[in-house]
Amino acid sequence: MNIRNLAVCSYVQGFTVWHYTATQPLEATLEPGYFNDANMLHPGDVIYITYYEKTAIRVVMQTTTPITLASPL
């Protein structure tokens, strides 16, 4: 993970929306532990992940190692 590719889009009342520009295939970024270096993520935060023509929206579920993401409802 390249921490420089992670940016805040919006922050309100402890809830953050992030954007991450992936440099690896999208599937790799969705694996548990990929965002372990991003210690500023919190449960409930949303991450928009883009990799060329693909985009994924995920919710941060767990911030203890490994950081895990889940699909939004």
Q: What is the pLDDT of residues 12-65, one digit of tens each?
A: 888 899 999 999 998 899 999 999 999 899 999 999 999 988 899 999 998 888
**6-12 vs 15-21, strand pairing mode:** antiparallel
Look at residues 27, 62, 31 and name the one whose alpha carbon lies nearest to residue 44.
62
Q: Structural domains in the chain?
A: 3-70 (2.40.240)
pLDDT of residue 64: 85
pLDDT of residue 73: 61
Query: What is the SS3 assignment for 60?
Result: strand
